[in-house]
Amino acid sequence: MTEAILVINAGSSSIKFQLFAVAPDDRLVRRFKGQIEGIGTRPRLVAVTSNREILVDETWPSVDVADLPAALDKVIAFLRPQIGGELPAAVGHRVVHGGPHYASPVAVTSRVLAELEKFVALAPLHQPNNLAPIRAVLQRRPHLLQVACFDTAFHRGHPEVADCYAIPQSLYAEGVRRYGFHGLSYEYIAQRLSAVAPDVASGRIVVAHLGSGASMCAISNGQSVESTMGFTAMDGLPMGTRPGQLDPGVVLYLLNEKGMSAEAIETFLYKDCGLKGLSGISNDVRELLASPDPRAQMALDYFTYRIALFTGMLAAAMGGIDGFVFTAGIGENAPLIREAVIRRLSWLGLDVSTQANKKNAPCISRKGARVPCFVIPTDEEFMIATHTLRVLRERTASALEEKRA
C-alpha cells in the first residue's frame, strides 16, 4: 500500500476520520473521509471516497454504540479492509487544548498523554474524547506514530497583553491565560486565502468559524492576532449550548443564590445555555431558522448581534479590516445568518450580494464593497494530515542522522 496518513477527529458525539495517501512528492491525496455520529443515541457510520462514492452507510441500535470506545471499534473494523490490513505510516489527532507548553504538533508518548490529560477540566466536552482514540491506539499499537495537533497552537504567538487577564501574575504563570481555539481551522483558512483571495490574503482578516462551537479570529499577514475564545472553549460568541461571553458575577450568583454546585454549574454552562437556552427550542440553527417561534428569532438575532460586536473588537486589534471570512457548518451553509451579519457591519464597509450569498459563492460581496466577504469551507483534517506528515518526515530524518553518526 502507498504510504498513508490516517486522521482522527473525535468529538463529544462523533468521530470524524480521513485517510490520505502520500504521493512521491509528499503531496497529500484524500482517499476517503467519513464519520460515525449519534454515539449513544442514533449511531450511524458514513464514509465516501474523494469522488463521493459511498463506501458505507450503516446504523446500529444505540446500545451497540453506546460510547466512544465502541464507536472507535466500529471505525477500526471499517478501516481495516479499506487499507488492506496494513497500518498507516502515522495517525494524526485533533486535540482541543495544548495548554501553555504545546505550541506545535507533537509525537504522542505516554508522558505527553499524561500531560494532555491535565487539561480535561479546561475543555470537558472535547479533551476526554480527543484523547480516547490516542489512548486506545497507544495500548494496541504502541510503536505506531501518533501526532497530536492542537486547536490552541495557532494562537500561541499572541503578545502577553492579548493573552493575559487582569488577575495576579502568579495565575498567568501557572497557565490561567487566554488561549483561543479552532486554531486548525483558522490555520487552514489563512493558507487557503492566498488562493481564494490573493489581493487580501496578507492583509487584516476577520474569520468567523460558526458551528455548534463558534469563535472568531483576527488574522494579520497570516498570523493570529486575537481571538474571541479564552481560557476555555466557552468564552466569546454564543454557541449551540454554551453561553459565550458571560459576566463572572453570573457564576457567583448561581453558586451563592441558587445553591448550585460547581459540577451543576459546569453542566449548565456547557449543555443548557447558548442558542438552546435563549430559544428554549433547539441548539440547531437549521431548526431555529425554520421555526415561527419568536424565541427562535431572538436567539438568532442575539447570535448575529454578538458576531457583529466581536468583529469591531477584532478589527480594533488589527487597526482595521481588509476582509471577512465565514467558515464551518453555519458559516458555510446558512445564507440568512451571513446576510444578517453583513448588514449589521455595513458601517465597516461590508455589503452583501444577495444572489451570490444564496449560492454560497466563494465571494458574497456586492461589487465595489470596501471590505470583501468570502465563504471558505474549512478543512481541519487536511491541516492535521499536513502536520502529521511533517512530524513523520522529521522523525525519519532524525533517525537517519543517528545511524550516520
Which of the 8 DSSP states describes residue 103? Answer: -
Q: Which residues contact 336 (CB under 8 A, 6 or more apart)?
A: 289
Cα 160 to its chain centre, rounded Å, is 23
Within 10 A of 195 (CB to CB), how many other CB atoms are there?
9
Grid cell, residue 220, equals 494579520
Q: Which residues contact 27 (CB under 8 A, 6 or more apart)?
A: none
Q: Which amino acid, 228? A: T
Task: Report how far residue 233's alpha carbon sits from residue 114's, in angstroms, rounded to the nearest whole number.
Answer: 21
Q: Is 235 a catalytic residue?
A: no
> Which residue spans within 11-66 are E strands per DSSP?
14-22, 28-37, 44-49, 54-59
Which is catalytic among the residues 57, 151, 293, 351?
151
> Which residue spans within 182-341 are E strands per DSSP?
204-210, 214-220, 223-227, 323-327
SS3 265: helix
**Nearest one of 33, 3, 30 to 18, comparing CA atoms:** 33
Active site residues: 151
